[in-house]
Homo-oligomer: A and B are copies of this chain.
Amino acid sequence: MQAKDATLPRRPSQAGAGASAARLPRGALDSPLHRPELFDRLQRGDHAIFRAMLREQQLFMAGDLIIRGGEQNGFVYRIRTGWALRVRGFADGRQQIVAILLPGELCGVTSIVTSRHDDAIECATPVTTNRASDADIRSLAEGEPDAALRLLFQLAESDRRLQTWLAALGRADAEERMAMFLIELRARLRRIGLAHRSFSLPLTQQQIGDHLGLTVVHVNRVLRRFRECGVLTLRNRTVVLHDPARLYGIAAPILDTFRTPDPGAHAAA
């Protein structure tokens, strides 16, 4: 359960997830909604943070916790390879996977100001990380505006994703959620070079359910429906998209958001 403080293995993991991401992906800083004029600064900030983290590397196994819930954690992490999950667990065993973290992303940034993490960070695959103490990161940010900007960017991205997903949980049905989930994930994986027509999805259906707010059973049924309609196949932790357009069609009402809620909308053409 504890991470080994070790140098990274030559081949960090056998999982499809990590294998092709041995090099640090840059695409994570290229979100379609960020300001293009800041890209250079973000990249420099990212380098600076990465350099500050070079000394501390860790290797986790699938199932390990990078950050425990309910405790203070004095570090900011950067995922190098593998998939990590932000999990919120309840007293009675229910749990919600609040977000998914992919290589290149920072996690635990809020350690800088908060005294406790309400979520745990759990590894879905073997994961390699770098880290630095929150104090180091804080002083780095004060010295290098670009690094501060990089931190802000991570929080802004996280905010946007949480917000989007929250809206989906509140207002979308099972098929819409599944479609949206896979579409967004594929887009993110693509940006870091980990998705083509098919991509790996190293989560159990239980975990997918914990993310979509559904039971395993229903996740399975939705997947079956998608398979029977020829939309996609999920086998061996791998998603193969047969009919992307159809998938987009299912999620369309949800993806096409940004309409401001103006009271006169029902009259418009």
Q: Give A63-90 as 1s and 0s: 1 = Cβ < 8 Å from B's Cβ atoms.
A: 1010011100000000000000011111
Chain B contacts for A89, CB-based, 8 A: 257-261
Would B265 and A70 count as touching, CB distance under 8 A? Answer: no
Binds B, one of A114-122, A216-224, A225-233, A234-242: A114-122
Number of interface residues of A (CB under 8 A): 74
Given contacts A118-B258, A260-B70, A261-B87, contact A112 B166 (CB under 8 A): no
11 examples of A-B residue contacts, CB within 8 angstroms: A42-B113, A69-B258, A90-B256, A91-B253, A91-B256, A99-B163, A114-B156, A120-B261, A141-B148, A155-B155, A159-B159
Residues of A within 8 A of B (CB): 33-36, 38, 42, 63, 65, 68-70, 86-96, 98-99, 109-110, 112-116, 118-120, 122, 138, 141-142, 145, 148-149, 151-153, 155-156, 158-160, 162-167, 169-171, 210-213, 252-254, 256-261, 263, 265-266
Q: In the A-B complex, list the 6 residue pairs whose CB atoms are closest, starting with the nearest.
A: A70-B258, A170-B213, A96-B167, A110-B156, A91-B256, A162-B162
